[in-house]
Amino acid sequence: MRIAVIGLGYVGLCSGVGLALKGNEVVGVATTEEKAALINGGKIPIYEEALEESLKACLKGNSFRATSGLASAVASSSATFICVGTPSASDGSIDLAQMKSASESVGAALKKTGEYHVVVVKSTVIPGTTEDEIVPILERQSGKKSRKHFGVAMNPEFLREGKALSDFLHPDRVVVGTGDKKAAEMLRKVYADFGAPIIETGIREAEMIKYASNAFLATKISFINELGNLCKKLGIDTYKVAEGMGLDKRIGKHFLQAGIGWGGSCFPKDVKALIAKSREEGARMKIMEDVVDVNASQRKLVIEMLKKKVPLGGKKIAILGIAFKPGTDDMREAPAIDIIKHLQAEGALVQAYDPKAGDNARRLLLDVNCHASARDALKGADACLILTDWPEFAELTDKDFALMKNKIIIEGRRILDPKKVGGYEGICW
């Protein structure tokens, strides 16, 4: 199938390349010709495992190409996947500016298409958005009727950054939200050999499945973090408790790693948007509000722990790990941002290292010395915080930490190997 993918960020680029690997002819739409040219040259503007190699293979096989020409990409395709950003607005609701603008352009392009076309909303949008906001834009701009001249489906994406391409290609399930038989049929074809169950729902249910999934996972993490704080006080190993819980099939072992909590491009904005919607509807979600509070308090806790060991003014603090999780350069809502800003506000000097997020950190954080290695960041430091569980941190030894002025180490993620490093403290252990 010929498919247009609008928005070449983490989701769009992975979905586009993934769909190309599955035998489709994909044209990815970027906002600028420079970005399209970069991608057509086999380079990706983000860090994502295996993506660049796969992109190169698809470019070579002519199954993927990027363009900034949205109209012709849509007009020459049978389906358009919208994968643009849906960030938080200042009140916590979602900012639909990118969605609306992309939908206007897609609608205008649909005006000229003769063939039946399916518009697939892959971006995460609050329930009601596709039917109440996107479809009217598409109909107005195209002068055509949804379900009659074109189809609309909501197909949420569940990939994890760091494993995005693999997750896209091997999903646990595919959710196809549409009341439209023809649109559902086309998407069933697209996902036929993904080896995953396809669940067909209404559009609103599909939108809510995405929010419900992320809200539940964020809840699981905040739960184990709160429990971890108590376990630490009681001298109990939270990770053993999590292992014992996780073997229960009803619970599962994932998202039970106590630490400084969740961040990233999805959980914070999705949970906030769900809370904002629940308030708007007068159906306040108290659990979700607490989930957010617990998450914020973990970040404060790590600073309180540090301040008990060293006064911050004028002190050099080494930060190991800035990305919101390992395997990505994405720093959106990373715990490290809040923590670094707080340290700086109290007069500390930050010397940081992240294997992939250094460039983003230089852009987003002021006055942070980003070093080329963990050892460089540790040199002369008065204390060290470990904020991302990059596997390479498990290789650090006492010899590396001997580079510090004072060996004060606080782990926000459990990654150090106690056989190689002694005398450190974990946030929940």
Active site residues: 266
Q: Which of residues 294-313 bind ligand NAD (CB under 6 A)?
A: none
Q: Which of residues 321-340 bind ligand NAD (CB under 6 A)?
A: none
Q: Does the footprint of ligand NAD cover residue 16 (CB under 6 A)?
A: no
Which two structure tokens, joined as six digits, stand for 201?
Answer: 């729902």
Q: Does the footprint of ligand NAD cover residue 183 (CB under 6 A)?
A: no
Applying CB under 6 A, the site for ligand NAD has a residue count of 26
Listed in sequence order, the residues at least 6 apart from 153 whose beta carbon sits closer than 8 Å to its beta carbon are 118, 119, 120, 121, 176, 177, 178, 180, 183, 184, 187, 203, 206
- Which of 28, 1, 63, 203 minimizes the C-alpha distance to 120? 203
**What residue number has its CB nearest to ligand NAD?**
9
CA gap 314, 344 in Å, rounded: 9
Q: Does the footprint of ligand NAD cover residue 358 (CB under 6 A)?
A: no
Q: Which of residues 97-116 bind ligand NAD (CB under 6 A)?
A: 98, 101-102, 105
Q: Which long-range contacts (CB under 8 A, 24 or more apart) does 364-370 make?
A: 364/331, 364/337, 365/322, 365/337, 365/340, 365/341, 368/319, 368/340, 368/344, 370/322
Give the per-residue contact string, 27-56, with ligand NAD (x = CB under 6 A; - = no).
--xxx-------------------------
CA angle 127, 19, 360 (to 5 degrees): 75
Which three-class secondary structure state does DSSP give residue 316?
strand
Give the per-residue contact string, 247-276, with ligand NAD (x = CB under 6 A; - = no).
------------------xx----------
Which two structure tokens, joined as six digits, stand for 63?
Answer: 């199954």
Of 142-150, 157-165, 188-196, 313-321, which part binds ligand NAD (CB under 6 A)? 157-165
Q: Does the footprint of ligand NAD cover residue 157 (CB under 6 A)?
A: yes
CA gap 322, 131 in Å, rounded: 38
Least Å distance between CB 389 and ligand NAD? 17
Q: Which of residues 16, 85, 228, 321 is near ligand NAD by CB under 6 A?
A: 85
Q: Which of residues 198-217 bind ligand NAD (CB under 6 A)?
A: none
- Helix (H) or strand (E) holding 342, with range, is helix 335-345
Of 4-12, 168-176, 343-351, 352-360, which part binds ligand NAD (CB under 6 A)? 4-12
Listed in sequence order, the residues at least 6 apart from 304 whose beta carbon sits closer than 8 Å to its beta carbon are none
Q: Does the footprint of ligand NAD cover residue 161 (CB under 6 A)?
A: yes
DSSP, res 394:
G
Q: Does the footprint of ligand NAD cover residue 83 (CB under 6 A)?
A: yes
Q: Does the footprint of ligand NAD cover residue 411 (CB under 6 A)?
A: no
Q: Which residues bind ligand NAD (CB under 6 A)?
A: 6-12, 29-31, 70, 83-86, 98, 101-102, 105, 123-124, 157, 159, 161, 265-266
